[in-house]
Structure 1
Amino acid sequence: MEHTSAIRRARVGDLPRLAELMHEHIAYEKSAPRPSGLAEQLGPQLFAEGARLWVLLAETPDGLVAGYAACSAEFSFWDARDHLHMDCLYLAEESRGHGLGAALMDGVTGLARELGLDHVQWQTPVWNEGAIRFYDRLGATGHSKRRYALPVEPAASPSPSPSSS
């Protein structure tokens, strides 16, 4: 059965629910827990003047925020142009299989179009066969790469210069 849903941009009042969904998503992907305060840290990034981060929400007919897609504009060096990077797409488990994912993807492509971008890129874990089938059905093409992360230690504070007396 298809849900009639609204896809809309996140608002400040959505941050607590968005943080709940993010924590569900982190657990679903078996990722390391993130520190508390995600909502407070994301707010300024989402709602600042000139922000290049957007979150679209899937809202069920009864008003429940059931999922999100987080996107940012990025530059592709090899293509020499900007594209929309979808960092995350997540639906609460009980909301899957009702057309909400396709509606979110329509929202993402609409956002790209609105921003004048003609390309959307994203990643999904290789073990997430359901997501892979979903993206394949949309006509997306997969590219095999391995994702890396390298922690960077903060720069050391400069030593105080000796004072001349």
Structure 2
Amino acid sequence: MTVVRAAADIDEVAQLWKSLTAHHYEVGAAIGARVPPVGPEASWQGRRRQYTAWSAEPDWLLLVAERDDVVQGYAAARVTSSAGAWDFGDRVGRLETLAVAAEARGHGLGTALVAEVRAHWRRCGVRFAIVSVIGGNDSARRFYERLDAVEFTRTSFFPV
């Protein structure tokens, strides 16, 4: 059985972030060929700073998914203002992170987390949400497509 709850603190998700970083290094080999990775610990310290800043926002949400009393997934989400050429409403949800331990993938934890995040966004009056997927992470792209996601933008990087 999966239990989804609010995280006790940000550091509760550190190991899952580091695992996600390692997964990103694997699937994002084309990125790594041009830009060296910073490593899981440095990556976590940067993300931890972001989570700390975002946690001051009124609609911030950090959820964990447990199976057999072990945290095996988490979602970090927020609500931001919306602007652009389409009417998404005044605010959009942003799924900043969805991480599920490799051994727990395919068992509904990610779906359960996103369902709770969506419910939170609906309570906040949000109609649409945005998620970014690392280039090369085709399984994540397919996961979001199953949730009725449609590609909206592509983000690229280049040297200056």
> So what's the TM-score if we normalise by structure 2?
0.76
Q: 2:20 aligns with which of 25, 30, 45?
A: 25
* Pairs within 5 Å for 1:48-63: 48=56, 50-60=57-67, 62-63=68-69
Question: Is 2:140 the counterpart of 1:123?
Answer: no
Of structures 1 and 2, the one with the larger relative CO (CA 8 A, separation 6+) is 2
Q: Bigger radius of gyration, 1 or 2? A: 1
Kindly state the Cα deviation for residue 138 of structure 1 after the two structures are TM-superposed.
Answer: 1.7
* Residue equivalent to 1:95: 104
Kindly state the Cα deviation for residue 38 of structure 1 after the two structures are TM-superposed.
Answer: 6.0
- Residue identity over aligned pairs, in percent, reads 27
Question: Is 2:74 the counterpart of 1:68?
Answer: yes
Unmatched 5+ stretches in structure 1: 151-165
Kindly state the Cα deviation for residue 131 of structure 1 after the two structures are TM-superposed.
Answer: 1.0
Q: Is the 8 A contact 1:45 1:53 kept in 2?
A: no
Question: Is 2:154 the counterpart of 1:145?
Answer: yes
Following TM superposition, the consecutive aligned residue runs of length 4 or more in structure 1 with deviations greater than 3 angstroms are: 35-48, 147-150
CA RMSD of superposed structures (Å):
2.6
* Residue equivalent to 2:34: none
Kindly state the Cα deviation for residue 147 of structure 1 after the two structures are TM-superposed.
Answer: 4.2
> So what's the TM-score if we normalise by structure 1?
0.73
Q: Is the 8 A contact 2:93 2:129 kept in 1?
A: yes
The structure in which a higher percent of residues are helix is 2
Q: Distance in 1 between matches of 2:44 and 2:148?
A: 37
Unmatched 5+ stretches in structure 2: 26-36
Q: Distance in 2 between matches of 1:148 and 1:110?
A: 33
Q: Distance in 1 between matches of 2:74 and 2:122?
A: 18
CA displacement, residues 57-103 of structure 1 (integer Å, 9 cap, x when unaligned): 1111x111111111111112114611110111110001101011111
Equivalenced residues, count: 143
What is the letter of the counterpart of residue 72 of structure 1?
Answer: R
Kindly state the Cα deviation for residue 42 of structure 1 after the two structures are TM-superposed.
Answer: 6.0
* Residue equivalent to 2:144: 135
* Residue equivalent to 2:92: 83
